[in-house]
Copies of this chain bind each other. A is one copy, B any other.
Amino acid sequence: MIIKMKKDATKKQYQKLAEFLESKHLEIRDVSSKQVHIFGIIGDTSSFEPVDLYAFEGVDEVTRVSTPFKKASRSFKKEDTIIKLKYGVEIGGDQFVMMSGPCSVESEEQLRIIAKTVKQSGARILRGGAYKPRTSPYAFQGLGEEGLKILRRVADEHELLVVTEIPSSDLLPLFEEYVDIIQVGARNMQNFELMKALGKSTKPILLKRGLSATIEEWLMSAEYIMSGGNEQIILCERGIRTFEKYTRNTLDISSTLAIKELSHLPIIIDPSHAAGRWSMIEKLCLASLAVGADGLIVEVHHDPEHALSDGAQSLKPKKYLQMVESLKKMSELLGKKYR
C-alpha cells in the first residue's frame, strides 16, 4: 500500500498514523519527494481496506499495489485450474465447453425436446433454470424443486451434466443432490452469506459476474468461496451495465484476457444475457472462442415465442446446430477440442 499525505498534514497527524501501522506490524518505507510526503507500507494488510486509512486526518490518498485476492490469484498458483467432470468433460484445459438449454425448465416434455438437440450438437452440459430471479414479482418464478428433478432425470437419460442457478443458501442440500455445477446469478455475486455457504459445497461453482462488478470484486467473490474450502470455480462473463442501451448489457470481452492474466481459474462467456437479442448470439460465440474463453453458456429453445422467460435471446435448434458447426471449425483452427 502506498500512502500520500496532504500538503498541510501535520507531524502529529503522521505520527498517529505511523503508530497505527506499527501496531499492525507493518514496515514504513519513505518515497517522498520535495513536494510530496509519500511512503509505502510493507507486510500483511489484509485485515483492513485502503479506504479505512482515510479515517486518519492528513491522509490524502491510499493506493493498493498488491491484489486483495490470494487463492484466486495467478501469483498464488501458476498453472491453470482444470475442473474435471463426469463423461470426460474438463473446463479450463484444452476443451472448449458448451453449456446449453432453455432459460427456464417449463416441463419435462419441453426439456426433453431441447436436451435432444443439446446432445446432438456434441455438448455435454445441460443448462435450465428451476428457480428464476425475475425483476417483477408478478412474472414466472420457475418450477422450483420439481424443475431440479426434471433436469436430473432428463440429463441422465441423455448422459448430460446439469448446471442451474441457486437462489439462496438454504436450498444448498437440494442442489447438492440434483445438480453437477451450481450457478450463482449476477444479482447474487455479492450475496456474501451465499458465498460462505458455497465454500462448504462439494460441487463446482459457476460464478457469474455482477452487473456492475469490477474484475477485482468478482475475483474477491471467488476468494470468498475458495477461502471456505471449495476451489472449483468457473467464472462467467455475462455483460456489464453501461450507458449503452441497444444491447441489454455490454459484453466485456476483454475481461476474459484480464482473468487469464490475474487468475488461474477458468472463464466462460454467456452471450445470451449480454446481448439480449438472438440475432447477435452466433457472432458473439465465435468472438468468445477467438478471444480465448474456455467455453460458452447459451440459451436454446424449440419454441422461443412461447417460452416462459428470455425467449428473445434463445436460439432455435436449427440455428443452434448451424452455429455449432462454425464453432467446431474455428475450435479446430485454434487447437481446442469442442465439447
Interface residues of A (CB under 8 A from B): 2, 4, 7, 16-17, 20, 29-33, 35-36, 38-40, 42-43, 46-49, 51-56, 61, 63, 65-66, 68, 75, 133-140, 167-170, 187-188, 190-196, 211-212, 214-217, 220, 223-224, 227-228, 240-248, 250-258, 261-262, 274-280, 283-284, 286-292, 304-307, 309-314, 329-330, 333
Known: A66-B36, A136-B220, A254-B250. A276 touches B43 (CB 8 A): no
Given the contacts A2-B63, A31-B31, A188-B191, A136 and B254 also touching, CB distance less than 8 Å: no
Given known A-B contacts A29-B31, A65-B2, A257 and B284 have beta carbons under 8 A apart: yes
- Whether A33 and B42, one on each chain, are in contact in the complex, defined by CB atoms closer than 8 angstroms, is yes
Q: Can you give 12 A-B contacts (C-beta < 8 A)?
A: A4-B66, A29-B30, A31-B31, A38-B40, A47-B138, A49-B135, A54-B312, A134-B192, A137-B224, A169-B170, A251-B254, A290-B330
With A55-B307, A137-B223 known, 12 other A-B pairs at CB within 8 A are A35-B75, A38-B65, A46-B136, A52-B311, A137-B195, A187-B190, A187-B192, A191-B191, A214-B244, A251-B252, A257-B283, A261-B279
Q: Please tell me if the beta carbons of A212 and B211 are within 8 angstroms of each other in the complex.
A: yes
Residues of B contacting A224 with CB < 8 Å?
Answer: 137
A250 and B247 contacting across the interface, CB-CB below 8 Å: no
In the assembled complex, how far is the CB of residue A262 from the closest CB belonging to chain B, in whole angstroms?
Answer: 8
Contact call B56/A284, Cβ cutoff below 8 A? no
A291 and B286 alpha carbons, distance in the complex (Å)? 7
A287 touches B253 (CB 8 A): yes
